[in-house]
Structure 1
Amino acid sequence: MKLQEQRSQFEIPSEVSYLNIASLSPSFKTVEKAGLDAVKEKSQPFLIPSLAYFDPVKELKQLFANLIQAPDLNRIAPIPSVSYGMATVANNIKLKKGDEILLIEEQFPSNYYVWEKLAQKFEAQITIIPKPKQNKDFGKLWNEAILNAISDKTALIALGNIHWVHGTIFDLKAIRKKTKAHKALLIVDGSQSVGALPFSVLEIDPDALICAGYKWLFGPYGCAYAYFGSYFDEGQPIEENWSNRLDSENLSGLTNYQSKYKPLANRYAVGEHASFIYVKMQIAALKQLIAWSPKSIQEYCASITLDAVKELQEAGFYIAESEQRAQHLFGVELPERLNQTALKERLAEENIYVSFRGNSLRISCHLFNTKEDLKKLSTCLIAALD
């Protein structure tokens, strides 16, 4: 399916070029309506049935399972943040002294601090796989370095599907194959990819996949998703809440305390995960994303960025080649001679929103963007060269 521009589904002023969804997504109009409708429902709580604590959550988990091709919704847990999901993962991992945790250079903090703490707890070792210094075949060389680093002493590797600044695609299929050969865990942060880039649990088979919900999944801030593989089937949650226990749907019998959890990942769902407002917003968002499909979103983003990328590369900006990076998110390395102060002033004047990360500018786009948005940006960047 070839997608067309979808700006009419968003409340973004025509003069604004929003190229920063990797920080925070705008809401679809349908997501906004779902949230407002849910707020109104809370005004009359006596009309909210007890099944509202359960049935919408099942629908939400099934939608997310469909998006990532997970065969069982019971492997999905609604959580409030990536850090919560990573803490749950780390809480159920025991290491031996000298075991190795592999991370990549410049990993997002929520996928670093938790492993630093785990390594300290068990006297394990963290090994950082550096990004290549040379630009040519940047992504290929980084993937080779990751694969070469996995060995018998590797207990786990944690990384994103793509790099959160550069958009470098990591070959999770190859990485998973090697982790299995060395009996190591694969923990994936899908926050900057799932929803915009195809991801299949059936293909990758990660031990855990943790995703923020407020970026490419278009949910509200404060919602996230976790997929847990079989390694975590009998694990311990970091909190105990009533709705995660077996037979919790029977509200009149809640004080008949139940020692058993609901099956699989249900034990890891955060308390109050049935939030009537958040759940309805997330359901509306996932339905639309599935209708569009991540594959078609990638193709659309590639089509609107192609000309601007070529123009910037010819002007001396480094952008990784298309086949080694994502199309919805990528970095533009800024030359030393570029006047960043002048650039930021020009961007503000033109109502262009992007993220500066180190010496790179991160572009993240979606179906509300057009070629004209990218042209405006490239013009500003080239004008800032001294």
Structure 2
Amino acid sequence: MLPCQRALFDMPRDVCFFNAASWSPLPRAAQDAGRAAVARKGQPWKLAADFASSQHERARKAAAVLIGADPSDVALIPSVGYGVSTAGKVLPVARGSRVLVLENDHSSPVLEWLVRAEAGGFAVDTVQQPADGDWTSAVLEAIERGGASPLALASISSVHWSDGGALDVMRIATALKRQGAAFVIDATHDVGVRRIDVKALDPDFLIFPTYKWVLGPYGRAFMYVARRRQGGQPLEQTAAARQAVSAEDTIYFRDLRYRDDARRYDMGERDHFISLEMASIGMELVAGWGSEAVVERLSMLTGKLAEGLGNLDVRLPDEKLRAPHILSVAFPKGMAADLPKKLAAANVHAAPRLGRLRISPHVYNDEEDVERFVDVFRKVAG
């Protein structure tokens, strides 16, 4: 089993941090790179001519490795919301059709379609949160529901951010293809943990940020774009998206045709000298451990947490239906409003999410953290 990686992080032993699903701590190596990059930006005349492009391509390659993509199919973007807005500009949604979203899904894969629905003449079809926690079955039923309007696309998270429900995106992708519908995946809570192979899955768009599970900074995200969708118009109009718009050439606007790959969707001002290398370092670390090893370790931790909490007055999701790295604790009588604060006062950190307590370990956690969490929880949750 992958050993605990706590030594790679600036995490004191008395800190019990089970909140990677909100934001992960940066590895020491990423922090060092960030500090060095600030100094580098302070003396930009020392930058090599190819410095920016080498940073772009290192990060693009690191992101591609995590999802089984070719680097040319990955765009550099600032956020999941930016990526979904790009998908909204590229994907056709016919009047009278419907777009599938999940109830209480994160705002990023949902709001774009709510805003467009009235003017576009389509309906947003919300899959209600299933009482048994089986999101996959609920989505499949909605896709194949008889008498429903034609399905244009599904825009959903592959792991539900609030309850940790894990969706079988391969089964969902197969069902969507039968309907001729597109698939936009917010993989925020999946990339870096569960194995993703976009060549087998074949979504239209798959998007993820770096600040959670792949141990990177805010403001860096990546978007896989299927080749059949690489002919669309980008969200922004940038020189980098064109074949040849260059200040170094004698003719500035030499060739305004868009690039032929996902790089046409790169964000403007993508030369993030400080944070892009930090993102690369986190993604490269995660890729080096491998999905199987990360899942094994995090499943062990959430399994031990479930064992320790199982005989208390709480409800835990079925292990078969939850993600291996998120344990969502529900309270039959309601969660005390001050529970997260009481935990934090004891240096034990988890997140309140829609009436539940979301516990999300990462590779810096170990069995001692689990024992500490359970012990503190028993004392303050009673």
| TM-score, normalised by the number of residues in structure 1 | 0.93
Aligned residues, how many?
378
Using the TM superposition, give the Cα deviation of residue 357 of structure 1 relative to its aligned residue in structure 2, in angstroms: 0.9
Q: For 1:222 and 1:305, how far apart are their aligned partners in 2?
A: 29
Per the alignment, residue 65 of structure 2 pairs with: 66
Using the TM superposition, give the Cα deviation of residue 338 of structure 1 relative to its aligned residue in structure 2, in angstroms: 5.5
Alignment match of 1:377 (pick from 367, 373, 377): 373
SS in 1 for 2:162: coil
Alignment match of 1:259 (pick from 232, 237, 256): 256
Using the TM superposition, give the Cα deviation of residue 255 of structure 1 relative to its aligned residue in structure 2, in angstroms: 0.8
Per the alignment, residue 54 of structure 1 pairs with: 53
Q: For 1:197 and 1:163, how far apart are their aligned partners in 2?
A: 13
Per the alignment, residue 43 of structure 1 pairs with: 42
Q: For 1:344 and 1:278, how far apart are their aligned partners in 2?
A: 30
Question: Does the Cα contact within 8 Å between 2:301 and 2:361 map onto a contact in 1?
Answer: no
Runs of 5+ unmatched residues, structure 1:
none
Q: For 2:50 and 2:245, how far apart are their aligned partners in 1?
A: 11
Alignment match of 2:348 (pick from 349, 352, 359): 352
Question: Does the Cα contact within 8 Å between 2:244 and 2:254 map onto a contact in 1?
Answer: no
Amino acid at match of 1:150: I
Using the TM superposition, give the Cα deviation of residue 14 of structure 1 relative to its aligned residue in structure 2, in angstroms: 1.6
After TM superposition, list the pairs within 5 Å mapping 1:1-386 onto structure 2. 2-70=1-69, 72-133=70-131, 135=132, 138-139=133-134, 142-151=135-144, 153-247=150-244, 251-253=248-250, 255-336=252-333, 339-341=336-338, 343-386=339-382
| TM-score, normalised by the number of residues in structure 2 | 0.94
| 1:168-189 alpha-carbon deviations (Å, 9 max, x no partner) | 1111111111111110001000
Question: Does the Cα contact within 8 Å between 2:2 and 2:293 map onto a contact in 1?
Answer: yes
SS in 2 for 1:252: coil
Using the TM superposition, give the Cα deviation of residue 305 of structure 1 relative to its aligned residue in structure 2, in angstroms: 2.7
Q: For 1:345 and 1:256, how far apart are their aligned partners in 2?
A: 57
SS in 2 for 1:347: helix
Q: Between the two proteins, what is the percent identity of the paired residues? A: 28
Using the TM superposition, give the Cα deviation of residue 13 of structure 1 relative to its aligned residue in structure 2, in angstroms: 1.7
| 1:342-367 alpha-carbon deviations (Å, 9 max, x no partner) | x3343123101111012200011111
| 1:22-65 alpha-carbon deviations (Å, 9 max, x no partner) | 11111011111111121121122112122112122112111211
Amino acid at match of 1:129: V
Amino acid at match of 2:229: F
Deviates more, 1:145-154 or 1:8-17: 145-154
Q: For 1:246 and 1:159, how far apart are their aligned partners in 2?
A: 33
Using the TM superposition, give the Cα deviation of residue 238 of structure 1 relative to its aligned residue in structure 2, in angstroms: 1.3
SS in 2 for 1:155: strand
Using the TM superposition, give the Cα deviation of residue 242 of structure 1 relative to its aligned residue in structure 2, in angstroms: 1.4
1:254/1:190 CA distance change after superposition, 3 Å: farther
